[in-house]
Structure 1
Amino acid sequence: MNGVKIEGVSIQWLGNSGFLLEGDGKKIYIDPYQIGEEPAFDDKADILLITHEHFDHCSPEDIRKVRRSDSTTIVPESCSLEFRGDARRVAEGDILADGLEIKGVRIEVVPAYNLDKPNHPRGLGVGYIVELGGLRIYHAGDTDFIPEMETISTDVALLPVGGTYTMNEEEAARAAAVISPNSVIPMHYGSEGIEGDPERFKTLVHSKNPDINVIILDS
Structure 2
Amino acid sequence: MKKIPLLLAFTLVTFLSCKNEADKKIDISDPVAEQKAEQDEVKITPIEHASMILSMGDFVLYIDPTGKKNYYKGQQAPTHIFITDIHGDHFDMKTIKYIFTEGVKIIAPKAVIDQLPQEIHPNTIMMKNGDEKKIDGLLVETIPMYNMRKEALEYHPKGRGNGYVLSWKDERIYISGDTEDIPEMRNLKGITKAFVCMNLPYTMPVSTAADAVLDFEPKVVYPYHYKGENGYADVRKFANIIKTNRPNTKVELLTWYKDEPKKKNIE
TM-score scaled to structure 1, two decimals? 0.89
Structure 2 equivalent of residue 72 of structure 1: 105
Which of residues 16, 29, 34 in structure 1 aligns to 2:67? Answer: 34
1:15 and 2:15 aligned: no
Higher gyration radius (CA): 2
Q: Does 1:184 align with 2:221?
A: yes
Letter in 1 for 2:136: K
Verify the 8 A CA contact 1:49 1:74 in the aligned structure 2.
Answer: yes
Structure 2 residue runs without a partner (length 5+): 1-37, 257-267
Identity score, percent? 27
Summarize deviations over 1:41-88 as a string: whole Å, max 9, x none. Answer: x71211110000001101112222222111000111122321414102
Q: Say which structure, 1 or 2, has more relative contact order (CA 8 Å, 6+ apart).
A: 1
**What one-letter code is carried by the residue in structure 2 that aligns with 1:8?**
E
**Which one of the candidate residues 82, 88, 102 is aligned to 2:116?**
82
Structure 1 residues 63, 115: CA separation in 2 closer, same or farther (over 3 Å shift)?
A: same
Equivalences for 1:183-202 in 2 at 5 Å? 183-190=220-227, 193-202=230-239
Length-normalised TM-score, structure 2: 0.73
Which residue of the partner structure matches residue 192 of structure 2? Answer: 155
Deviations 1:150-208 (A, max 9, x none): 32121111000222101211111011111100000001123665521211111122222
The reply to whether residue 44 of structure 1 matches residue 77 of structure 2 is: yes
Deviation of the 1:34 alpha carbon: 1.3
> C-alpha distance in 1, partners of 2:212/2:228?
22
Change (3 A) 1:167 1:29: same
C-alpha separation between the residues in 1 aligned to 2:115 and 2:179? Answer: 21
Q: How does 1:85-96 map to 2 (within 5 A)?
A: 85-93=122-130, 95=131
Task: Mark the runs of 5 or more structure 1 residues left unpaired by the alignment.
Answer: none
Number of aligned residues? 210
Partner of 1:140: 176
**More helix per residue:** 2
1:14-34 Cα shifts (integer Å, max 9, x gaps): 111112111111100111121
| Runs of 4+ in structure 1 over 6 Å off | none
When residues 192 and 133 of structure 1 are mapped into structure 2, their CA distance, relative to the original with a 3 A threshold, is farther
Q: How far 1:218 moved relative to its partner? A: 0.9
Corresponding residue for residue 87 of structure 2: 54
8 A Cα contact 1:27 1:47, kept in partner: yes
